[in-house]
A and B are shown apart, each in its own frame.
Chain A
Amino acid sequence: MTDIQHYVAPTSLEQAAETLRAGDVTILAGGTDLMPQSQSGRLKIKRTLMNIHHVPELNGIAIDGGAIRIGALATMTDMLQSKLLQQHLPILVEACDHFASDQIRNAATLGGNICNASPAGDTLVPLLALDAEVELASKPNGSLSRRRMPLSEFFIGPGRTKLGATELLTGVRIPLPGPARTARFFKFGTRPALDISTVSIAIAGTLKDGALSQVRVAFGAVAPVPMRAPRTEQALEGRRLDAASIDAIADVARDEVTPIDDVRASAWYRKELIHNITKRMLAHVAQT
């Protein structure tokens, strides 16, 4: 049984933040996770169900300063079809393309994918490699207060984030990559559609003379949170990519992850995947 006492659909960020300040709120956006989780009893909808679909500020994909800002309500389909993202952030578009099915891509939002904080969340790994920041808003004392946080600090455990109980994630900001920036993404699953990642990997860096610098490496589904991999990044930083160095870096990657055994794969298998796919991706980078 549910104890929902109020349903609200605010039409401004101010109203939404006001509702959150009153406390005990469950946020509804795409609904693709909230519905099955609440129906199965894994999640209990709180006293107030707040539908944020009508808050204009949560929409849009646009360049803002030196960054691309993606509103929390952008769906996977919105991102997949965005010319701006196709041009500047192709690995994010790739992740959206591998996301569930057409029906779910048409409903599921970026904000939802982030706030659900699944270690296997499809967009989270490329976002980490792209240095994304989350924008958070709240209304602690009568006026709207905003803060930003690197996505790499946002996740604290499976399904758990640093989002405050009275805060709303309004969007994501990703610095516009420079012209020499290169990035790769790979999701491994057993079938193309509707599969939860067994592992996923994103690698970004500035490629010069066969070596990557300012390296970002992110892994999904191999730790309690989608993770940046600082040791692998360090091993990769400035190192000329050849067969021997790629082997050594892939070894570091395998040792850095801490996967679990579950229905999708054993921990051992996931470590082997991280090793082999990292190797393959770096070989691909080396050839360009």
Chain B
Amino acid sequence: MPSYLFWLFSTIMLIGGTAVIAFRNPVSSALSVVTCFVGLAGLFIGLSAFFVGVIQILVYTGAVMVLFLFIIMLLDLKDEQKRAKGFAPLAAGLGLVIAFVVQLLGILSRTPNKVAPVLDKESLAVAATHFNPTGKIATSLNEGRLPDVQLIGHTLFTEYNLPFQILGVLLLVATVGVVALSKKSVGSD
């Protein structure tokens, strides 16, 4: 990805993130998270992770943030009033964050930098020799395209098959848990 696109999407992401904690109205915060995640999806696509970029949009900005907006609507939240907050929690929070950023800068200035390995036609053709030559993955690689979705599916259903099945059970447990949680609170009224 050209540098200016990287900095553009990073700026969108960081401004969205800052707006989340700056806004008083929860609906504005939720929409800022959406902005932040759209910038993040742009960065994912710039890293040639097309599938992850698309599910970032579909799952996070599509499903999760709509769920948040539903709950904000359901609870009928008003703008947060200015409450008398002590100086100590603010200073402690900012101090923690500044210490984190300083540490991060210190570590990054000492670690050797790395540039992205090129994904051009020759290197993709070399990678194609590791796959079934008549398959779709090898065909796309030989044409000079990165078959991101096919490669993810290949890895998911071979190496990561068991974790994938367990994930299905986890989602079922979460669904049952949500139903049980909502039901109990209704019964206790």
Q: Do A and B bind each other?
A: no
Residues of A within 8 A of B (CB): none
